[in-house]
Chain A
């Protein structure tokens, strides 16, 4: 089969590789019909996530048709159309029983690696480094899905791929980012990053009752999308104005009640701070550039919530702990527990509350994935979201 493989920093290639096979009794093999490039794939693409190997198949947002099932899979049959959540979860361990699927204790065969870096291991993830399992990803013609009796969601007939594909990751991730803000009536929520996850976080904040949502980014086309499609009240382009000053103005001096970091470890920002973090990152003195996170913490009102859904890999520098402690901030974060949100969000799509397809700007063939990555990383042609079909 053909698959999108990482060949080194900023180098992807579509290669011929063996077809996947059932390796465990609870596996299924899915013939992929649609897959997407995630903003977090760019962290892999740029070489910022440790333990990636040359030749790894990437991709954790995908859906398709079941073509084979292991002997213990009873809920799926050949021919079913499914969307697959990116966290691989067994459904039986203590974490899964508490609906914390991205903390599954049994799905990362390389748990010992994650324990060395992070103390304990989270779940395995498709196509997301060896630290998180070494599972082949879904940017391929076929993919093996472990614990297929737990994760995959059957797609109701009559819904097309573009309506439901993002249930695999970015819609639930954005939604969870807003849910963690514990939004109350009258709340103002600010979202750093107007990429696809940020757009869904903004939209979800409104759905969950925020009175005003503010979007922060450096690309006008993204801010424009936020305003026209994600129910955003006001936008801030941080290259043109001071985010902290503007947020103070917009909130009567209090600061937003909740701040969502939908940027993560490769943030841009004030040139001097950016240069500082970029240099430390290049020298491997810190893994991540937390410019958006620092700003979100500083901006948040006293006693507010900072919700972190942008991806971080390791250690950060100059973390404003004094601001967090003295102002009673709450930090909430996590890889999305996608399985928890798929059904309720599918209902919201079915009844027309959400049409997630608005983020798609580019539709390409799997064979064109390398240029899709290039376009996405350089924000060429106003790229917001790339969807690949076979």
Chain B
């Protein structure tokens, strides 16, 4: 999907660290309808950018992306420890 944008790093007021602003422009495959469909599946760029920014902050501040027992699965899932070696594959994924 064609896209372009700007990332700005700005000092936050009151010595509260750095604000990261992302401006992203993109052309969804089927125009407005395509954007709506993407949103329904949680893949709309604004949602993805918000999630990415949240994880970026986590990595910078804590050194990792925190996982919960339910969030490592796709879709809603009981908050129980994952079965088998799923945990291992997530550990590798979580290292970015």
Contact = CB atoms under 8 A, between A and B. Distances in A.
A144 interface: yes
B79 A22 contact: no
Interface majority SS (helix, strand, loop, mixed), chain A: loop
Interface in A69-99: 72, 88, 90-94
A70 to B, nearest CB: 9
B23 to A, nearest CB: 20
A109 B72 CA distance: 9
A111 B71 CA distance: 11
B82 A110 contact: no
A20 B72 CA distance: 13
Contacts, number: 123
B62 A130 contact: no
Contact of A53 (B63, B67, B76, B83): B76
A124 B66 contact: yes
B27 interface: no
Q: From B50, B61, B80, name the one whose CB has the most chain A CB atoms within 10 angstroms.
A: B80
B80 A136 contact: yes
A221 interface: no
Interface residues of A, number: 42
Contact of A18 (B17, B63, B65, B80): B80
Contacts of B77: 53, 134
Contact of A109 (B50, B61, B71, B78): B71
A20 B81 CA distance: 5
List of 10 A-B pairs having minimum Cβ-Cβ separation, nearest first: A134-B70, A55-B78, A109-B71, A20-B81, A21-B87, A136-B69, A56-B79, A134-B68, A23-B67, A90-B62
Interface of B: 16-17, 47, 50-51, 54, 57-58, 61-72, 76-84, 87, 90-91, 94
Given A72-B64, A106-B62, A137-B79, 7 more contacts: A21-B81, A24-B65, A93-B57, A106-B61, A109-B67, A136-B81, A146-B68
18 contacts: A5-B80, A21-B87, A23-B90, A23-B91, A24-B91, A24-B94, A25-B64, A72-B63, A94-B17, A106-B57, A106-B61, A112-B51, A130-B70, A133-B71, A134-B68, A134-B70, A134-B71, A134-B79
Interface of A: 3, 5, 17-26, 53-57, 72, 88, 90-94, 105-107, 109-112, 124, 127, 130, 133-137, 144, 146-147
